[in-house]
Structures are given as C-alpha cells and as structure tokens.
Amino acid sequence: MTPNGAGLKEIHNLRLRLQELTDEIARGPRQIAARQQLVDKKKTELEARRAKLKLLKVAADQKNLQLKTNEAKIHDLQGKLNAATSNREFDALRSQIAADSMANSVLEDEILEALEGCDAAQKEITTFEAEIATAEAELAKFTAQVKQKEPDLMAQAAQLEAKVTDIEKILPADILPQYRRLVQSYGPRALAPVHGTACGECFVGQRQQTIVELRAGKMVFCTCGRLMYLADDE
C-alpha cells in the first residue's frame, strides 16, 4: 500500500473510532435527560393525585359536618317531641325525626365510602412516592456513572482528534476544501475503501484507470463524492 493509501485507511479508521466516541459522549446526557423527563412526569402525576386526595378529604369532611348538623337537629326535635302537647304535633315530630334519621343513615354510608376512597387514594400515593424515590435514586446513580466516564471519553476523543489532524497532513492542499466539506456532511464516511474495484460506499465499480491511479497513491474521489483508498492493497 502506498503511504497515501495507508494514510487514508488510517484516517478512515481513526475517524470511525472518533465518531463512535463522540456518539457515546452525546448519548450519556441524552439518556439522562430522557430519564429525568420520566421522573418529572411521575412527579406531576403525583401532584395531581395529591390534589385529588385533598378534594376527596374535603368532600368527606363536608358530609361529616352535615351529619353533625343533622344529629343536632334530630336531638332538638326529640326535645320538642318530649314536650309535645298534642297527638298531631307528636306524630308530625315523630315522622320528621324518622325521615331525618333515614337521611343520616344514608349520609353515614356515604361518609364510610368517602373515607374508604381517601384510604385507597392515600395508599396509591404512598406506592407512587416509593416508585418515584426509586426512579430518582436510579437516575442519580446513572448520572454519576455517565459523569464519571465522561472525562476519559473526552480525553480519548481529543487524543484521536490530534492523531487525525496529524495524519490529515498527507492530504494535498488542493483537495482540502472538498475533503472538509465531505467530512462535514458524511463524517467518517467521507472516505471509502475500495474492495476489488467497487467503492465501499456506493458499490459502483471503478475503471481500471482509477484503480491504477489509486495504486499509485493519487487522491481520487468517487462519483458518490467519497475519497477512495484501496482496502485490499498491501
């Protein structure tokens, strides 16, 4: 392989590894953000559940207050019943007390149901709080892992970049602008190995003349735009 061919192959390999590193560095914060979003969503839902429980409690309290008021009213009616002077008055008071007692019995059932509803909601909230705490602990652990790995990945990337910059000095000045544009667009795939006679990127077969030029160390771009090198040439 000509020095140029070997250089292009090395640039390609280094750029591929650099791309992997860059992707890995970018992946960490993205995963953290996604997990954070899930935790935030759960927290919002928790607040909604707490608000709902508050409403249930208010409703139960109101029914309780209503019950107490009714009981006081019945107590009052019973006093009047004891002091009733006529049968008519007695009967009217008695049926009033019966109706009010019936209403209270219904109210007592409703209160019981409301309190059970509050209990169930509270239990759900407690379970949900535990889930959120677990998710937050896991997120903190994951974030710490990502942050711990980051400096090493950055250092590796910087090292690779320096290496690439160094080896790219073999590129002639006249192809540099085109090469830079290619790297901008395709990253490591700005370069393509030629296997046999086919471009490794677009698989188009190259003319014999092109293969001869590549073998001689010439810089040749494929019609797909990539800078080619002979992969199998030793």
The binder of Zn ion chosen from 81, 103, 175, 224 (CB under 5 A)? 224
222: contact with Zn ion by CB under 5 A: yes
- Shortest spacing between CB 168 and Zn ion, in angstroms: 20
The binder of Zn ion chosen from 48, 112, 120, 202 (CB under 5 A)? 202
214: contact with Zn ion by CB under 5 A: no
Return the number of the residue (168 or 201) whose C-beta is nearest Zn ion: 201
Q: Tokens representing 224?
A: 């797909």
- Shortest spacing between CB 224 and Zn ion, in angstroms: 3
Instruction: Report the candidate in 77, 66, 83 with the shortest Cα–Cα distance to residue 99.
Output: 77
The binder of Zn ion chosen from 14, 201, 206, 219 (CB under 5 A)? 201
Using DSSP, state whether 2 is helix, strand or coil: coil
Treating both helix axes as pointing N-terminal to C-terminal, what angle do 3-82 and 87-167 enclose, rounded to 10 degrees? Answer: 170
157: contact with Zn ion by CB under 5 A: no
- Shortest spacing between CB 219 and Zn ion, in angstroms: 14
Strand positions, DSSP E, 37-111: none
DSSP string, 161-217: HHHHHHHGGGS-GGGHHHHHHHHHHHGGGGEEEEETTEETTT-PBPPHHHHHHHHTT
199: contact with Zn ion by CB under 5 A: yes
The site for Zn ion (CB under 5 A) is made up of 199, 201-202, 222, 224
